[in-house]
Structure 1
Amino acid sequence: MQLSDRWASASLPHIVTAVKSRLRQVAFRRLAPHRISPQQYQLLMAIAEQGGRCQGDLARCTWMDKPTASRILRTLQDRGLIRAEADPTHGRRVLFRLQPAAEPLVEELQAYRRYIREGIERGFTPEEKRQIRVFMGVVMANLDRMDAESGGSPDGTEE
C-alpha cells in the first residue's frame, strides 16, 4: 500500500490523532439518528456484551477515566437504557445491566458496529490487520509507560 506524501511525512502522534478525530466524526454522524454519542455507544455495547459489569471495569474496557464513565452511565440510566443494581458479592459495588427498552437500540447498533469494523478494515489483508494490531499495541504500551513515568495509572485510566 502506497502512502500519500502527507501521511509519509507526518509524525506518528499526528497520524494517530487524525485517525481518532476522523473516526469520531464518522461515529457522531452515524450515531446521530440513534441520539447516542460515541462514548455512550461504547459503554452501552460493553454492557450488552457482558451485563453485570462495574463502573471500573467499564471504564477500563472503553479506555475512559472513571469520572467520564460515571457521567455517561448516569445519562444512559436517565434515558432508561441501563439500570444499576447492587453487586450481591460485594457490598459497595454497583453493576450495570441493559434495560429491556435498550434491546432494540442495541440490535440497531450491532449493524453500526459491523459497518465501522468492516469499513475500517477494508482493503487490508489478514496479515496487515495483525500487524496493525501489533503496532498499535506497541504504541499503547509506550503511552502507558510514558504515563506511568509521569505518575499516571498503568492502563491509562484515572484511579
Structure 2
Amino acid sequence: MQLSSSWKTASLPHIITAVKSRMRQVAWRRLAPFGLSPQQYQLLMAMSEKDGRCHGDLARCTWMDKPTASRILRTLQDRGLVRAEADPSHGRRVLFTLEPAGEALVASLQGFRQYMREGMEQGLPEGDRAQLRSVLASVMDNLDRMEAELIESGSEPKSEQK
C-alpha cells in the first residue's frame, strides 16, 4: 500500500498507533497457524530468553499490564505450554517456565521472529535503523517521564480517571 503525502504530516501518536496496528495485523496472520496471538508469542519468547520469571516481570518486559499477562499465562498453562511453580525463595511469588511443548513451539517460532525483524527493516540503511531506534527510545523516555509525572502528582485528567 502506498501511503499518501498526508502521512508525512500526521501526528507522531497517530503514526506510532498505525505502525503498531499494522505490525499486529501481520503478526496475527503469521502466528495463526501456530494458534497464538501476538501477546502469547511475546510471553513465550520472554520466557525462552529467561526461564523462571514471575508474572510481574513478564508483564514489564512485554509492556503488558499485570491482569492481561495473568490471563494470557493462564491460557498458555491450559494449553500445556507453560508451567507455574511456587518460588522457593518467596512465599507468595509464582514462577513461570516453559513446558517441553512450549520449548518446541518457541523453536518453531524462530523463523517468525526473523521474518518480523528482517521484514520491518527491509530497505532501511543501517544508519537509519540506528537512528530510528534512538528516536523511538527518546519517545519512550518521554512517555515514561510523562507517566511518572502523572503518578507523582496523583492526578489524572478527569477523562482518564476510572
**TM-score, normalised by the number of residues in structure 2:** 0.88
> How many Å apart are 1:4 and its aligned residue?
5.3
1:139-150 correspondence to structure 2 within 5 Å: 139-150=139-150
SS at match of 1:84: strand
User: Considering only CA atoms, is the larger Rg found in Structure 1 or Structure 2?
Assistant: 2
- The AA in structure 1 aligned to 2:94 is V
> How many Å apart are 1:33 and its aligned residue?
0.7
In structure 2, the residue matched to 1:71 is 71
Q: Flag structure 2 segments of 5+ consecutive residues without an equivalent.
A: 153-162
**Counterparts of 1:85 and 1:130, CA distance in 2:** 40
SS at match of 1:42: helix
In structure 2, the residue matched to 1:61 is 61
1:80-159 correspondence to structure 2 within 5 Å: 80-151=80-151
Flag the structure with more relative contact order, 1 or 2, with Cα contacts below 8 A and sequence separation at least 6: 1
SS at match of 2:112: helix
**Counterparts of 1:127 and 1:92, CA distance in 2:** 46
Alpha-carbon displacement from aligned partner over 1:120-149 (angstroms, at most 9, x marks no partner): 011112221111111001111111122222
**Counterparts of 1:68 and 1:130, CA distance in 2:** 31
Query: Number of matched residues?
Result: 150
In structure 2, the residue matched to 1:49 is 49
Q: RMSD over aligned Cα, in angstroms?
A: 1.4
**Counterparts of 1:100 and 1:108, CA distance in 2:** 13
Alpha-carbon displacement from aligned partner over 1:69-127 (angstroms, at most 9, x marks no partner): 01100110011000011112212111110001122211111110000001001111222
**Counterparts of 1:74 and 1:27, CA distance in 2:** 21
Stretch of structure 1 that moved more, 97-106 or 15-24: 97-106
